[in-house]
Every structure is written in C-alpha cells, then in structure tokens.
Amino acid sequence: MHAPLDGILAVSFEQAVAAPFCTCRLADAGARVIKVERPEGDFARGYDHVAHGESSYFVWLNRGKQSLVADLKDPGDADLLYRILERADVFVQNLAPGAAERAGFGSQALRERFPRLITCDISGYGEEGPYAGMKAYDLLIQCETGLASVTGTPEGPGRVGVSIADIASGMYAHAAILEALYERERTGAGKGVAVSMFDAVADWMAVPLIHADYGRAPQRVGLSHPSIAPYGAFPTGDGRQIVFGIQNEREWAAFCREVLDAPDMIQDRRFVSNALRVENRVALDAIIANIFRGLTRNALIVRLKGARIAYGSLNPVKDAARHPQLRRIEIAAPSGPVRAPAPPPRWAGEPPFEPRPSPALGEHSDAIRAEFA
C-alpha cells in the first residue's frame, strides 16, 4: 500500500516546534524528510529529558525523518545541500529572521535556481511589517495576538498550556504545502509559501477580534464561555466536577425540565435567550451550582444523558493519559520506544498508522552524503 506522499522529498532547516510539526505530518504521509541539523543539533533535543533521557518534543515531532548534520556556512556542506535541493520537492525553514537568506538559502533564490521547488518559510511575524525582523516564541505570540488576554481567570491572564502558536503555524504550513504540490501537478511550477505564527493565531482569534471591532472584547471567564451560558465546570455533591454546555433554546428547555427539575426557569425573563443568560450569568450559575450540590456526579450524568445535553469531565493529564478514547502510537527512539497520541486523520479501510523512528543526531549523515556525492 502506497502512502499519499511516497516519492516526495522534503528538506528542512528546522528547529523547535513549528517547522518540525509541519514536516512531521509530511513524513507521516510517506514523504522523505531530510532534517538538516547544526552540529549541536536542533535545540529542541534539549527541551527536556523525560523520554528515556530524550526530549518529549523532539521524539514527538521528528518521527520518520532523516537527520543530516551540516554547517550552512561550510562551502562543502552548502554544495551538498544544493545537490539535495536539486532533487527535492519541498524546502521548509524556520530559522531566525534572515538567517537562511544570509547563508545563501533564501527561498526566492532557491525557486529561481530550482523552478519546481516549493518553499515554505515559517516565521514569527511574517515577511514584512514593523515586526518582521523580530524573533518570536510561542508565549510571545500568545501575548502579542491577545490570546493570553482572553485566556485565564478574571484575576489574571494565562498561557494556553501547549505550544499553540507553533502548532497552528505548522498546521497552516502543512496545508499550504499540500495545496502547492497539488497546483504543481497542473502547472509544473513550484511556489513560495510564507506562514507566520502571528497570522496563524490571529486567524484563530477572529471572534474576539470581531467583538473588539464591533462590540466589546471578551473578558476572561476561566472555564466558562464568554458568549454562551450556561457553559463551564460545576461541582457536584460528591466533590467532583462536570463540564457541560447549552447551545440552543431547545437544549435550554430540556436542561431546565430534565436536569434541573425546574421547568419554570424556561420562561424566567432573565434567562429566555442566550444573550440574557450571558448577561445574567452570575445569577444563573448560582442557581445551577445550588441544584448540582444536591446530586452526585453519576446521578447528574444520568440526567444529562436523558436530556441529551453534552457534558464532559475536567480531567487532569494523568486521567487523560488513561482515557478510553485515547489512541496511541509507539515511536521508536534511539533510547527506547516512546508512547504518544495517534495523530489524525484516520483513513477508512486502512490499517492503523505506524510511525517511523525518531532519529539520533546525524544518524543518516554518512548515507545521505554518499547518496548525494
């Protein structure tokens, strides 16, 4: 069985999370990905040492790739990389602003030299504008885009607990590369793609930004929803918490009748529309919390299921790691196998995804140098 990207060669000057996320997805689909690392390696190799002494980030994001150690400033290594790029389909880089171009590997120059090459530059703030030359990291982008201002509790802003700006930009880069590959099938020509972490998160911030332009920017509400009520986490009588949300008036009526056992609330003037429920959230949440305190979590789940109200558990990571819905893969890493979440998508009628190994630093250098001599 052939993978969708069998025969595609991607070369990546990558580090950290954003570009490795993009090229990991290319590798998962069967592309050959040559990861070019400096002699000391991708600095993400040192982010932590929890995976048998290796970095959880690196093992997760670099499965299925070949590691080539090269010095971009060395003329011999530069010539080697040009020979590889002559056969490549895709070039990805997320080095510091201007670094690839200064080393002689600017995307425009590469496309002029190799017309079928698709180039992808991932940056913090983009190719132009007052912030174009600034270095950027995930937390900085979360703060600059306003994401941190709508994340957290009323008492203070918070960081999204995963590298969301890196992952978002990696996802957009992956999608754009696939589009460019599809277009090249028709035109025969490569294309330049540019993705910034700022643009990626700004797109995900569309609703808060529209509210800021035409109304009032959302406030931080913790686990509640700034635009929907009731929606959030509530304690039950046995000291546990349950999360649920009401999306429409049909659900609101069912919730009042079958969960709260308070049908009169359906027509309470404070709560007859979602906008009014949001406006009167404090009073509504207090009523719900008082009723929930008289129910165990299991008893409440019976009522929520009966009313067809969506609900969930506020799981700590240790419980999420044992979740019955969690699919796992096992990545072969130099120090031992590492379990990780199985990535989407799932392909109908095909066997489960089996990842290729995560490479040791320079593991494939000799073979690649011999192949492209």
Q: What is the pLDDT of residues 61-118, one digit of tens each?
A: 999 999 999 999 999 999 999 999 999 999 999 999 999 999 999 999 999 999 999 9
Under the banding of pLDDT at 50, 70 and 90, the label for residue 349 is confident
Residue 222 CA to residue 327 CA, distance in Å, equals: 28
Catalytically active residues are 225
pLDDT, average across residues 244-259: 96
Identify the pLDDT of residue 335: 95
Q: Which two tokens stand for residue 348?
A: 């109908």
| Closest alpha carbon to 35 in 366, 361, 371, 369 | 361
Provide the mean pLDDT of the chain: 95
Residue with tokens 């000799």: 366
Identify the pLDDT of residue 221: 87
pLDDT, average across residues 124-153: 95
Q: Which two tokens stand for residue 26?
A: 């290319």
Element (H, E) at 13: strand 9-13
Strands 118-123 and 90-93: parallel
- pLDDT, tens digit (0-9, with 9 covering 90-100), for 13-33: 999 999 999 999 999 999 999
Q: For the chain, list the domains and their CATH numbers.
A: 9-205+325-371 (3.40.50.10540), 231-313 (3.30.1540.10)
Residue 158 CA to residue 161 CA, distance in Å, equals: 9
pLDDT, average across residues 199-222: 94
Under the banding of pLDDT at 50, 70 and 90, the label for residue 1 is low
Answer yes or no: are the C-beta atoms of 91 and 118 closer than 8 Å: yes
Answer yes or no: are the C-beta atoms of 123 and 131 closer than 8 Å: no
Q: How many CA atoms lie within 13 A of 284 on its CB side?
A: 26
Percent of the chain surpassing pLDDT 70: 100
Q: How many CA atoms lie within 13 A of 372 on its CB side?
A: 20
For residue 317, give the 3-state DSSP assignment: helix
pLDDT, average across residues 302-320: 95
- pLDDT, tens digit (0-9, with 9 covering 90-100), for 165-197: 999 999 999 999 999 999 999 999 999 999 999
